[in-house]
Structures are given as C-alpha cells and as structure tokens.
Structure 1
Amino acid sequence: MRHYLDFEKPIAELEGKIEELRHLSDGGELNIADEVARLQGKADRLLRQTYTKLSAWQKCQVARHPERPHSADYLAALIEDFVPLAGDRLYGEDRAILGGLGRFRGHSCVVLGQEKGHDMQSRVTHNFGMPRPEGYRKAQRLMQLAERFKLPLVTFVDTAGAYPGIGAEERGQAEAIARCIELGLQLRVPVIATVIGEGGSGGAIALATANRVIMLEHSIYSVISPEGCASILWRSAEQNQEAAEALRLTAQDLEKLGVIDQIVPEPLGAAHRGRDKTMAAVGDAIEEALQALGRLDGGTLKAQRRDKFLAMGQKGLG
C-alpha cells in the first residue's frame, strides 16, 4: 500500500477511488475504463498542481518519504561489481555508512552512501542513517583509498545528521566529521556528491565536500533540521514550518546561493513514484560530472574544490 503524506490526502482519495473501480472491473464484465481514465487524469492534474507549489516544510516531508530510494537502491541500480568494505580499523563497523569499490558505467570508483533502511529492522541495523564516529572514520579510510589508487569518489548523502548519543561523543564524533571534511578538501581525485533525501548538518557535509554537489529536486540540505532550529529559536518544535522557510534548505534556494551545482528533476509526484527513472537521472548527472572533472589534473581538482567552498555565501543574498 502506498504511503501518503498529509498534504496528499486529496490525491489519496482520488487514487483510492480509481483502485476500487479497477477492482470492480477486474471482477466482472463491467467496463468502466472511461471513468477510470477520467479520474486518473484528474489525479495527475492534482498531483502536478500539488508538487509544483510545495512549501519548504512539505519538501522536508517528501525528502523523508519512507518509499524514497535510499543509498542501497542507488548502489544496486548504478554500481556494478560492488565490493563492500567494512570497519574503520580503529573501533568497529558502522552500517549507517555503506562504502566500497565498484564500477559506475565503466568507470572504476570508490562509493560512499548514508543508508537509512527501508523497514524497522533495517532502520535499526543502519541506525536510521545517522553515522557514529566509526562510520566517518570508515569514510576517511575509503577516501584515502580513492586517493591512493587515483579513483573518483562518488557519494550519496541521506542523513538527518550524525548520531548525537553519548557514546558517539565520547568516541570523538565532532573530530571524525571535521577530519572527513578536511580530507575531502585535500583529495586530488574527482569527488561527486548527490543529496538524494536529507542532507543534515555536518553529518552530510562530511560526505558532500565535493567538486560537484548534485541535489534531487525535492531533497533538502541544511545546517540543522527544521525541528531542531525551531526548538532553539522558538523553544517549540511546532514552529518547524517557519524554520524550514527561514533555513532556505530547498534545492532551488541552495542553487541560487551557490551551495550546490545542479538540480536533478524528479518524476511527477517525486522520486518515490518513479524510483527507476529517478535513479537513472541521477546516474546521468553523475556521468556528466565525471566526464567534465576527469579532464582536470589533481592540483586543479583540489584548488577548484577549495575555491568552491570559500565562495559559498557570497551569491544570492541580495
């Protein structure tokens, strides 16, 4: 059964009627194709109207949709001969970050992705996509591997943020994230990051310190979640809609600000309604970026990445 968001209730009612009519038609000789086609057209129009004027808070809901493709889905769809690599060689394995070696459309590469899981058991296994320090140290190890073998680094960002538990803090969460960002700025290989859902705080930047940052149309990328921002500024999470607008966390806002480089359009009704089409479009964007960056030498790649981040905040603020 499809999961509907709060603002999709009118669409849910229409699609429910369509499903009932199709069930009736399948069960007998009744031909209701014309009525189904009429209702389907009405549902498509309503879906288009709804998704062309989403608020920032509604985009947050879409970015968190449980049926949205996650990193594991992108790895399965886009990466051939994927060989997972585990552990940080210091403390342990963190399954909130998937990583390893593989081939993307003929290009050997190192791949990293934050994985949320798709049901309760897998979400617990992957800690709801919130990495601990060992996850970020595993990411550092794979970044160094990419550098050593001169392989492009491809990352998929989808996290509410780094895990804020006491154990993670005791094991150096902030230091692990900072080292990831520092190492990302030093790499002399192409780095391409795609925000496929949530890009939350430093936990996202650790995997998004890239030459090319791509965002899906209805994904979000922010220094803090709207709920966290509202709790700090208004002392109440109920102000999350105002916080979402103030944070300017949508792909459209961030492209204007120069924080990201490219927006990948999503199918009608967002990525969860067209998973294969979405993943293919992301693959095309990554391939285009790889072709452009592959012509640059290591020094130029490093300098370009550094200049890109130093220039952030100087565009679109007027």
Structure 2
Amino acid sequence: MDTDRLPGCYRHPDRDTGISCTRCERPICPECMISASVGFQCPECVREGSGTGHRPAANAPRTIAGGVVADDPHLVTKILIGINVAVFLAGLAAPAIVIQLELLGRYVEYFGAPVEGVSTGQYHRLLTSVFLHVEWWHIIGNMIGLWVIGGPLEAALGRARYLAVYLLSGLGGSVLVYLLTEPNTPTLGASGAVFGLLGATVVLARRLRYEMRPVIVMVVLMLVLTFVPFGGTLNVSWQAHVGGLITGALVGLGMLTPTAARHRALVQWGTCAVVFLLAAALIMLRTAELT
C-alpha cells in the first residue's frame, strides 16, 4: 500500500488532493474548494452556512483564485470548444476563411493574389489563428487537451481569470511564432493556448501542494511530442507551444500567488496587463524589423 499517496476528494475520489475543508475536514479538489475567510470550504458547508443559499454577489463563494463559483464550472471551456469547432466547419465550407484568419508575418501569394500579414497591420491574425484548424486530427487533439486540462483549471480559477489565461497564452504563442519563424510561413491552431493552460496547471498544482510528478511528466511528454518527429517530418510549431507554455505559467503565477484579498485583483489583472504590454512591445519590434 502506498502510504505517501494523498487522499482523494470526497466528491471526486479519483482526484488526489492536499486541501481539506476547514469546517468538516473532508478532502476537496480545485473544483469543489470554495474560498472562505480562512482556508477553503466544501460546497455542502458553504450551503449550510449561507442558509437559503442566496447571498449578495460581494459575499458569493469564491474559487482559489478569487473568482465567483459558477453553477457550471466548465462553461467557458465548452464555449471555447464550440467556437473552435464552428470555425473549423466554416473553414471546411469556405477555405478563404482560413487564408484571412491564419497567422502570417508578411504577405504571401495565394493563386496569384497577395495576402497581407501582421507586419502590414493585420494584427487580428495573432489571435484569430488560435481558433483555426484545417485537419480533423489537429482539432480533435487540441479539443481533447482543452477539455482535459482546461476544465479543472476553469473550476479552480473562475471564468474570467481562466479566459484571460487562455487568450493571453494563445497570444503569447503567436508572438513567439511571429518573432522566430519565416514571415511567410502560415501557422494556426489552439496548441499554444492549450500549452498555456498546462503551464498554469503546473502553478496550480504547486500552489495546492499536489504531487508534482504526474504534472511534470505530462509537460515533458507534450514537449517530446512537440520536438521529436515520430515517423516523419516534424510539422509542429514548437514556437507556439513554448510561447504558450511560458505565457500561461507567468499569468498563472499572477493569478495564484497568495495575496491579501484586497490586493488580489490588482495583482492578477496587473499581471495580465504586463504580459499583454510585453507581447505588444515584441510585436512592434518584429513589425519594425519586417517593414
């Protein structure tokens, strides 16, 4: 018997956790933990303490990152998957959409017609490309990763903070692609954003004192799949993966660093602003180099 294993969440026994409810002391996972004045409480104890269950928004149960606990803790993840699938189907029906949304640093010619890129002012490509896929295996792989990694992270962060991690990670991946690849190389996919969620998950696991080995193994495995060409030519944008992973970890640090409640929102959204401004500065430097 493994005596070092952490107990499982009382609602999700397959999820090991080092956090317990401060009232009933039952082990709780990120999806179940609700921030209290001291530590975290389970949903049952919060309901018992709130009487009717209706309380002002200012006193609503909070996630570990300070977000409001939602009835559907995976709603944003579901919406993101829906958007990705909808854009994929639209691209199949009208391939011209792909040309207008994919990441291009500088114009290329499609069928004899020039298509402009980020360096000529089409900055939207840095983010729209994150929702774009052209191969069924590509979107299936990314959406499985988004569901498996993103669902628990959304429950831990709350909707707004989770969405900020996703979008900034996707942007961070695109920025590194823009900086390091040939400007006429088209790039697309949600992989950078998914890697960003993985980076934030590493921070979350560290914050909750989880066993780090499974998380580190997952990161290493995904990086191996990024850099090792199994059975053929490598056709993966490692720049997007690494850029997203680093960005997600940085934003995750801002979201999950223990901070006094009155300063928490300032630290969290200030971190997001700094990361965005850094990305914008790198974009401007690369644009100046290409023009």
Settle same-fold status: TM greater than 0.5.
Answer: no
Q: What is the TM-score when the length of structure 1 is the normalising length?
A: 0.31
Relative contact order (alpha carbons < 8 A, sep ≥ 6): 1 or 2 greater? 2
Task: With the length of structure 2 as denominator, give the TM-score of the two structures.
Answer: 0.33
More strand by share: 1
